[in-house]
Structure 1
Amino acid sequence: MDVPYDLTSYVRVLKLASTPSWEEFSRVALIAGAGIVLVGLIGFVIFVLMSVVPGSTPA
């Protein structure tokens, strides 16, 4: 493990990185939020189906 080489590569990456514009940030946040809602909705549908089907939950 070459620590000086690793540090210079990290600094190089940070210099190349830039702050996203508000439009780019809001679009990424919207897509991520939609994905979270979709996964939650799928989980809720599975929960409802497991509650409705008799004998599906152990007693």
Structure 2
Amino acid sequence: DRISIAVEASFSEISGSVKEKIDVILTFLAMLMLMRSRILEASQDYLFGDIKIKKLT
């Protein structure tokens, strides 16, 4: 829901309000599917760093 409003966000911002581990996993999988569909682009500055997500469309 947050990524539909913002053009850029971090994965920790998006998943920050999620309380259950399974919901974090599902959020990450949904992000991967949106990347595959070329709706999102993700980058990471360093190993194990926060993932930056950018909306493409």
Task: From the CA coordinates, give the structure whose radius of gyration is larger.
Answer: 1
Q: Which has the higher helix share?
A: 1
TM-score by length of 1: 0.32
Give the TM-score normalised by structure 2. Answer: 0.33
